[in-house]
Chains A and B, each alone.
Chain A
Amino acid sequence: MSRRARIRGALAFLCLLYGAALLAGLIAPYPYAEQHREFPFAPPTRLHFAHLQPFVYAWAPDQAGGYREDASRAYPAGHLSGVFFPLGTDAFGRDIFSRLLYGGRVSLFSGLLAAFLSLALGLLFGVVAGFFGGWPDRLLMRAGELVMALPWLYLLLAVRASLPLHIGTIQAFLLVVAIIGGMGWVRPARLIRGVALSGRERAFVQAARGFGAGPGYLIRRHVLPLTAGVLVTQATILIPQYILAEVTLSFLGLGVGEPVPSWGNMLAEARQYHALVSHPWLLAPGLALIPVLLAFLVLADALLESPEP
């Protein structure tokens, strides 16, 4: 596939996913918090066809503690009535497919926003360090090393514990974004610094300086455009990393709280032994992650390749 086709394909796929997550309210069959307490850990509902019309059977509990299809209760596939679970249910009978969509909002967008924050900080620090050099450069680079060496678990525990208990969902979401994004500026900053450094040394920049151009103008006109390429490729690398970081934070209880789903806290539920052995459909968010991350990977690869002549 040509480079351009790959870029377009990956972007389209990602837009589709992000769009689906945004429109979760319209697409999802159930609200994310709706519990169906009669159907905990129900497996995905099987779709049957009669005369090309899809329908489903309700689940009924069986002896072994699982479920079997109850042939006496059939419903057309569009009729909800608490029986149609495309990806099964969790411990409280909440529809996993709906939660996957709503959860995508948190996970996909926290990755996006956190990457934006990291890149913004990285751009700021990198340009300052690279363009001005001298002590701002040394200071920022040393600070970067410090940031990478500190034990962040303590900071996270401390921050979470000292917050008021009542942080709403939005604030919790933004907090997660801020923490992840705020810690990850070092790598982009280093790369941007390199770009700014080499930009500064270029002949025409030096010439412009000779003409009396101030640093602000030089940065805006000459250095910033050079950083565009780095920023874009870094974005495609950082976003998936941050999506995974949100998963990790949710394991530690530092993500959004119940009942709001995120792929992270859904996976946290699934990672226990009994879930993996008896209810593997709980791993749906993990499986959903893979195509998302793959798409970013393809995009990053394609962007990094030099364009065809």
Chain B
Amino acid sequence: MRSLRTTGTIAATALVLATLLPGAPSDLMVAPGITGRPGGTLVFSQRNEPKTLNPVLAGDNASREVIHRITADLIHINRATQQTEPALAKSWRASADGLHYVVDLRRGVSFSDGHPFDADDVVFSFQAYLDEKTHSPQRDLLVLAGKPMCVRKLGQYKVAFDLPSRYAVAERLFDGFAILPRHILERPYREGKLAQAWGLRSPPAEVVGLGPFRFKQYVPGQRIVLERNPYYWKEDESGMRLPYLAEVDFVFAGTEDMQVMRFQSGESDILSRTSARNYVALEKDHERRGYALTDAGPGLEYSFLFFNLNDPPPGSLPEVAGRQSFLRRASLRRAVSLAIDRDAIVRLVYLGHAAPLPGPVPLGNKAWVNAKLPQPVRSVAHAREILAADGFTWSPRGALLDAGGKRVEFSIVTSSGNAERVQMATLIQDDLKSLGMDVHVVPLEFRSLLDRVLQTHDYDACLLTLAAGDADPNADMNVWLSSGGNHLWHPAQKAPATPWEAEIDRLMRRQMVTPKYAERKRLFDRVQDILMENLPLVPLVSPDILVGARNGLGNFRPALLDHYTLWNIEELYWRSAAGTRR
């Protein structure tokens, strides 16, 4: 009797002591100002099907949409504030020279199968991302100045990152790098089979992550079902564990029209990023159907027209070279920019849900837009003056001729799959007629288009929409650097072809290593000025982020950064029981 009781007391005391020992209490993250009620299912329709659940190799948006709900990263960029915040990393310190970051991990956190999380998982994850044999597309984010980062374990909950060169916003790099479970994926990795892991048909028990939800079921061609992760490491202020929702259903709609129809009929709960025309068509019905549409303002996407400024080897592409005689004239590009009716684009293509762009940085990027750039003004008369001053003349029938007497005639290629871009090109075609330019609109299938622009350089002008990967300009280095592969108008230059491109190179490289934001902003403002002086690309408009959600969905706060509607999925909840589903 007595021995049993003693054993019991000892056991109880040991248990109590164990929970008080350092390292054992969990550092749950508290989400401020959030309340909600648990339960319910959220149905989200995707345009395309996800292809894989493997974070290391996922390349398409649909897969990433699902993956980021079941995994978590170390340092996360809060989509609302656009600033970094702690995630799996509780805190971090940078060394004085900016080359070493020491990260303290959250303790007491477990993966979705209950297995504890510690520094070994972090080291393993980054090892996988950095391994050249894995060919992860994300690897290049961790490569600075040609050399990869190094990761070192300093303790059970402490990791160090060694950067090969200074990088002003290194902490922003970590967003999106999902931490992988070593206890599941190390074996496939060592056997060289990491690429095949976590396909859609994998058993749910194998797909283990640190995100608010975990993988439950995949029905081919139709849906992916996620269920609540009971081990998620965030809670709200009242101590309730997040996420509130019990289940999330990703259903595959196939086309944008189907997405819209499903949302309207009540079969899905959130409409993420729809086109302006569908938005307006949906607005008419919203009270009857019980949903609310939101225009979140201009996002990080921007459309522009750029010209082929490549140097084709003599003899190849003679027609393109012939047309470059006038396309290379900055005066022509400036005239084009002056003649384009951006207000008509906003009104007719986006039905008012867009804003004209004064510069090459989207308006949603408030921290980095050069506010001093003048608003674009349309003036065909001024455009004609500029052209006349540079030796252009007009034939008796009004056709524009360059200084050599050649007719100004060129084509704009654009992606056939995107109605808005083709419409913009059609409007521009009509606008440029007033200058006497003869413009052909050539919609091409997207991959053929990329092939022409980036590989064969067989085009005159192209109308594209780019979505900046992050608010910070460093994400687009390869676009602005003349040596960059995405320097659209003249990619992969061995040496800068023009003095202004050389200047841009210099400025961009400096801002990459400058630590203070004010100084970086000054440098990047100068880059924007130079771009607008020389106009290799003519900025057009920046579309708004248009989303919708069913009434009764609480904590729905659309953001301007991807993922616009699900970035705070752990905070979403259904206000009344009527909103929850079976």
Q: Do any beta carbons of A and B sit within 8 angstroms of each other in the complex?
A: yes
* B window 272-293: CB within 8 A of A: 275, 277-278, 280-281, 284
Interchain CA distance A165-B412 in the complex, whole Å: 9
Judging by beta carbons under 8 Å apart, are B277 and A165 in contact? no
A64 to B351, CA, bound (A): 13
Interchain CB contact under 8 A, A259 and B261? no
Q: Please tell me if the beta carbons of A259 and B411 are within 8 angstroms of each other in the complex.
A: no
Question: Chain A's nearest CB lies how many Å from the CB of B449?
Answer: 9
A50 within 8 A of B: no
Tell whether A164 is near chain B: CB-to-CB under 8 Å. yes
Give A16-43 as 1s and 0s: 1 = Cβ < 8 Å from B's Cβ atoms.
0000000000000000010101001000
Which of A114-122, A225-233, A272-280, A298-306 is the interface stretch? Answer: A272-280
Q: Is the CB of B429 within 8 A of A259?
A: yes
Q: Which residues in A have their C-beta under 8 angstroms from that of B422?
A: 258
Whether B277 and A274, one on each chain, are in contact in the complex, defined by CB atoms closer than 8 angstroms, is: yes
Out of A92, A161, A164, which one reaches B427, CB within 8 Å?
Answer: A92
Contact B281 A253 (CB under 8 A): no
Q: Among A165, A166, A258, A277, point to the contact of B425 (Cβ < 8 A).
A: A258
Q: A161-B444, A161-B445, A273-B257 are in contact. Are A40 and B348 (CB under 8 A)?
A: yes
Q: Is the CB of A164 within 8 A of B348?
A: no
Chain B positions 416 through 435: 1 when the CB is less than 8 Å from some CB of chain A, otherwise 0: 10010011011101100000
Residues of chain A contacted by B257 (CB below 8 angstroms): 272-273
Residue A14 CB within 8 A of the other chain: no
How far apart are the CA atoms of A78 and B57 in the complex, in Å? 64
Bound together, the chains give a CA A252 to CA B351 distance in angstroms of 25
Which of A253, A258, A273 is B426 in contact with, Cβ under 8 Å? A258
Interface flag for A157 (CB, 8 Å)? yes
In the complex, which residues 162-207 of chain B have their Cβ closer than 8 Å to any Cβ of chain A?
Answer: none
Q: Are B448 and A37 in contact (CB under 8 A)?
A: no
Which A residues are in CB contact (< 8 Å) with B344? 37
Looking across the interface, which residue of chain B has its beta carbon closest to that of A277?
B281
Interface pair B348/A278, CB less than 8 Å apart: no
Chain B residue nearest to A65 in the complex (CB): B280
A166 & B319 in contact (Cβ 8 Å cutoff): yes
Segment 118-145 of A: residues with Cβ below 8 Å from B: none
Kindly report which residue of chain A lies nearest to residue B352, judged by CB atoms.
Answer: A65
Q: In the complex, what residues of B have CB within 8 A of residue A157's CB?
A: 445, 448
Q: Are A164 and B319 in contact (CB under 8 A)?
A: yes
- Cβ–Cβ contact A35 & B277, under 8 A: no
A91 interface residue, CB < 8 Å from B?
yes
* Chain B neighbourhood of A257, CB < 8 A: 440-443
Chain A 180-196 per-residue mask, 1 if CB under 8 angstroms from chain B, else 0 = 00000000000000000
Interface bits B48-72 vs A (CB < 8 Å: 1, else 0): 0000000000000000000000000
Counting CB contacts under 8 A, is B571 at the interface? no
Our pick among B413, B441, B444 for the contact of A258 (Cβ within 8 Å) is B441
11 more A-B residue pairs beyond the given contacts A257-B440, A259-B430, with a C-beta to C-beta distance below 8 A: A161-B451, A161-B452, A253-B444, A253-B445, A257-B441, A257-B443, A258-B426, A259-B441, A272-B278, A274-B280, A278-B284
